[in-house]
């Protein structure tokens, strides 16, 4: 019997590693701080037609509303209740978005903030996104309800009540993360409230969760919560499907808590991936693209079947979280597009793209004084809609990296080559590399300060292909460079280091 229970639990974990993307889709995008109505429209007009597999949404639950600083992005990571009204919209708008996105084959993944409630200094009153009353000082959140005994303060042994030493795993799990009131997730009552919140979303049709701050929760407590979760809604998912779980654990090495403690429960964020990839494209510390022949586990990353990867995320693009200055973002568009293309072309992990908004950076002594700034908003603090320009870019401060042609076309590349092996590697022992994915795709990068001019074995069938970086295939014509592959699978590539995008990619469906 014991053996059976172990097998059942292990099976649950493996099932929670599957993102359940539809129609052979392979990538999701984080539409950071977008309103539900805008996400629904984006699924229908852009994400569905262009082969995106899913959207990670900002936390949908009721959150604190802060005036100083003014409506920061991180107020959404300070829950007040599990009511589904947030800066992004109402419960009805959320439900409408989930339905409309699912109907065009785009999954919704929820950012679930369940380690804590708001900060201990959050005050008392109705300054919350649904207007619910709460008292941070008295630890009273009647809309859940949570009260004093539902928090971990009695277990924390530090003088301040906050995490003071990341070398002590008990502190990291039982004390307050930057003053945020830490929920007692070992209590059956608290587990029930958290699972109830997640189950309501599953029943509405979401495909899974990014679970925030997992390092700060005990794996056993998370296992107990995940074990209570419903199967996915059979209106859109096959019977018996488990929610996809990807857990935020910042593990760059050097701390006692490792991502390995969580990988049996679901996928885990591999923060080393973006940190190292950024350093490679920036050519820091002697790193070269040619060293990435064994990219993935060969670089000390977790097994690919457990990994959830990204070039940047909402934290580290503004200097929070992990990775520091090596992270490449939309502020460095040339390097960023190359790094994203490398990630999407490479088979390792489940991939997430970032879709950001601009803010006025003010960097003093290496730190951005404006890293708190929330999304483009009206004078009353409400989030602006995302306007789409005639050239398909976004206006009003929304960056929409996922709409950049070079990134959108690489999403298709990943779908086309899915399941094919990493093959036909070439490098110049510096920063020019190429690799294929079986006979379905091939990509060539020039990140050196000189031109690339080389004939390579692509592994592709002979014919003329449209480069999907300089342009794309439209009907039977190509708006970019054309690449001629011979009957022997060899093709000649010339890439100037001065090109706006010094890389070329072809795939089976870009054949003319």
Residues marked as catalytic? 212, 248
The pair phi, psi for residue 489, each rounded to 5°, is 75, 5
3-state SS string for 71-123: CCHHHHHCECCCCCCECCECHHHHHHHHHHHHHCCCEEEEEECCCEEEECCCC
Are 428 and 448 spatial neighbours (Cβ–Cβ below 8 Å)? yes
Residue 407 CA from chain centroid, whole number: 15
Positive or negative, the Cα torsion across 92, 382, 356, 406? Answer: positive
- The tally of CA atoms less than 13 A away on the side-chain side of residue 199 is 13
Q: Identify whether the C-beta of residue 471 lies closer than 8 Å to the C-beta of residue 478.
A: yes
* DSSP secondary structure letter of residue 282: H
Output phi, psi for 223, to 5 deg.
-60, -40
Contacts of residue 154, defined as CB under 8 A and 6 or more positions apart, other chains included, come to none
* Residue 212 Rama label (left phi>0; alpha psi -120 to 50; beta): beta
Torsion sign across C-alpha atoms 427, 430, 432, 433: positive
DSSP lists the bridge partners of residue 400 as: none
How far apart, in whole angstroms, are the C-alpha atoms of residue 387 and residue 351? 26
Pairing between strand 482-485 and 503-507?
unpaired
Cα(52)–Cα(411) distance, integer angstroms: 7
In whole angstroms, what is the distance from residue 305 CA to residue 326 CA? 25
**What is the spatial distance between Cα 241 and Cα 247, in angstroms, rounded to a whole number?**
18
Nearest C-alpha neighbor of 341 from the set 444, 454, 416, 492 = 444
CA dist 258 and 271 (Å) reads 12
CA distance 430 to 288: 6
């Amino acid at each position: 019997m014991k053996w059976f229970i172990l097998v059942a639990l292990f099976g649950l974990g493996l099932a929670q590693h599957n993102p359940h993307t539809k129609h052979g889709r392979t990538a999701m995008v984080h539409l950071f701080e977008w309103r539900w109505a805008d996400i629904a429209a984006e699924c229908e007009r852009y994400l569905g037609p262009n082969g995106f597999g899913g959207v990670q949404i900002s936390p949908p639950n009721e959150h604190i509303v802060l005036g100083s600083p003014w409506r920061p992005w991180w107020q959404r990571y300070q829950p007040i209740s599990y009511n589904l009204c947030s800066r992004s919209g109402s419960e009805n708008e959320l439900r409408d978005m989930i339905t409309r996105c699912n109907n065009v084959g785009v999954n919704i993944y929820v950012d679930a903030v369940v380690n804590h409630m708001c900060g201990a200094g959050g005050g008392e009153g109705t300054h919350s996104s649904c207007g619910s009353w709460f008292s941070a000082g008295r630890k009273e959140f009647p809309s859940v309800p949570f009260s004093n005994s539902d928090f971990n303060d009695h277990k924390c042994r530090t003088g301040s009540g906050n995490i003071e030493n990341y070398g002590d795993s008990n502190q990291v799990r039982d004390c307050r993360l930057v003053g945020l009131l830490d929920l007692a997730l070992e209590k059956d009552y608290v587990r029930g409230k958290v699972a109830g919140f997640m189950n309501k979303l599953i029943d509405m049709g979401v495909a899974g969760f990014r679970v925030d701050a997992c390092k700060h929760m005990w794996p056993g407590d998370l296992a107990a919560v995940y074990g209570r979760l419903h199967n996915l809604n059979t209106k859109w998912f096959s019977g018996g499907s488990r929610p996809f779980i990807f857990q935020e654990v910042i593990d760059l090495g050097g701390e006692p808590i490792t991502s390995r403690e969580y990988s049996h429960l679901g996928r885990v964020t591999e923060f080393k991936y973006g940190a190292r990839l950024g350093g490679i494209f920036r050519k820091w510390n002697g790193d070269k693209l040619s060293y990435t022949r064994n990219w993935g586990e060969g670089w000390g990353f977790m097994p690919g079947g457990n990994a959830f990867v990204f070039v940047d995320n909402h934290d580290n693009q503004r200097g929070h979280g992990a990775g520091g200055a090596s992270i490449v973002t939309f502020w460095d568009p040339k390097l960023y597009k190359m790094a994203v293309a490398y990630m999407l072309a490479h088979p390792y992990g489940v991939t997430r793209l970032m879709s950001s908004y601009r803010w006025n950076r003010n960097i003093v002594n290496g730190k951005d004084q404006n890293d708190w700034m929330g999304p483009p908003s009206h004078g009353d603090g409400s989030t602006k809609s995302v306007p789409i320009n005639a050239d398909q870019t976004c206006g009003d401060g929304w960056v929409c990296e996922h709409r950049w042609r070079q990134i959108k076309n690489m999403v298709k590349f990943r779908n086309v080559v899915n399941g094919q092996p990493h093959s036909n590697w070439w490098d110049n022992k510096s920063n020019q590399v190429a690799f294929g994915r079986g006979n379905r795709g091939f990509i060539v990068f020039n990140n050196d300060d000189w031109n690339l001019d080389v004939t390579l074995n692509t592994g592709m069938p002979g014919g003329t292909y449209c480069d999907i970086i300089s342009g794309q295939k439209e009907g039977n014509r190509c708006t970019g460079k054309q690449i001629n592959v011979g009957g022997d699978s060899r093709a000649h590539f010339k890439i100037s280091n001065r090109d706006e995008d010094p890389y070329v990619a072809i795939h089976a469906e870009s054949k003319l």
